[in-house]
Structure 1
Amino acid sequence: MRKFLYCALLVAFPSLLLASASIENSDFIPRVINFVIFIAILWYFAFDSVKGIFITRKKAIAARLQEVQDNLHKAKQERENAQKRLEESKEKAKEIVNSAKQEEYLIRQKYDDQIKKDIELLKSALEANIEFEHRKAVRTSVENLLNELTANKNLQLNKEDYVNIITKRIS
């Protein structure tokens, strides 16, 4: 009601100030009464529809604001989920790298051990081969010597001489 009174004074005040004649000679009071009646009729018939329009608009704005807030909340949750997945991925990557380093170390150790074994086997095979070649060379030289001795008709040797020659030649 105060708003209505302020509105009426706002409309009436300029005409009171600018009026050159007194208020009794003018039609100001009937105009104010007509204006008040018009506002009352307008209030009576249009208040519910205007109020409904504003309430509908208020609800639409509230619904839209709620929708925006829901979308914002969803976006924040998705961002948090993405951050969590990123952290999990980083941890998995670290685990994979550590696992790969550990596997590489184990494989390197395995191959180092295998290489050492192969080197030992090659050394023993080489030593055996050297021993075999040495025995073969000794046999060949003894065989050559015996062939020379048997081929030489001028030289006569008995069994003991042959044994002595072979033992001296072998050692």
Structure 2
Amino acid sequence: MKINYFLLLLTPIALLASGGEGSGGTDIFPRTVNFLIFVSIMYYYVANDLKAWYVGRKNEIATKLDSIQVKLKESNSKKEIALAKVEEAKVNAKNLIETAKKEAVLLTEKIAQEADAELSNLEKAFQDRMAIEQRRMQREIISNVLDEMFKEGSITLGDDEMVKIVNKKVA
């Protein structure tokens, strides 16, 4: 490889040995050869560094790409976990709603039963109160009738007749 470079360096000498300034041609060919020699020399000194930089850059990009792919896989797995949790939460919410509806039905039934029991207690208390009031009114009426009878003195009854009258009123 170094021999090729050396021969490349000697080529302009061989090409320009026969010509001079008075040849009257253009100097494009010698300039092209000089440029190629310059590029070859630069390649000789810089090629390894450029290759190393290129390989390093390529490895750096590959590493970044790998880390991005790992992060993508992690985020996809986290997304799947989150979606599973969302579905689980939806199922739990449905179960809670069903449970709440059942509890509401049970509570309404319980309240209805308690209200019915309270109504029956109130009705019984009302019936008892009515019976007490009827007895009180009967006593009052008997008392009023007897008071009138004794106040006026117009009716004279015997003890037997009074007992019969009182028994009739009480019954």
TM-score, normalised via structure 1 length: 0.71
**Is 1:102 matched with 2:102?**
yes
Paired residue for 1:83?
Answer: 83
Corresponding position: 1:147 with 2:111: no
* SS of residue matched to 2:134: helix
Q: CA–CA distance in 2 between the matches of 1:160 and 1:71?
A: 116
Find the residue that maps to 1:83 and give its secondary structure. helix
Counterpart CA distance in 2 for 1:160 and 1:51 is 146
Q: Which runs of 5+ in 1 are unaligned?
A: 1-27
Distance 2:47 2:110 in 1: 92
Distance 2:91 2:159 in 1: 87
In structure 1, C-alpha distance between the alignment counterparts of 2:160 and 2:63, rounded to whole Å = 126
Q: CA deviation at 1:145?
A: 1.0
The answer on 1:131 being equivalent to 2:134 is: no
Instruction: Compute the displacement of 1:146 (Å).
Output: 0.8
> Does residue 74 in structure 1 map to residue 69 in structure 2?
no
Q: Which residue type is aligned with residue 157 of structure 2?
A: L
Instruction: Quote the RMSD (CA, aligned, Å).
Output: 2.9
Moved over 6 A (4+): none
SS for the counterpart of 1:101 is helix
Task: State the Cα deviation string for residues 10-51 of structure 1 (Å, max 9, x = none).
Answer: xxxxxxxxxxxxxxxxxx8xx98x958x74x66654443222
Q: For 1:150, give the aligned amino acid.
A: F
- Equivalent residue of 2:53, what SS? helix
1:120 aligned partner: 120
Corresponding pairs, count? 144
For residues 77-97 of structure 1, what are the alpha-carbon distances to aligned partners after superposition, in whole Å with 9 as ceiling and x for unaligned? 221122122112212211221
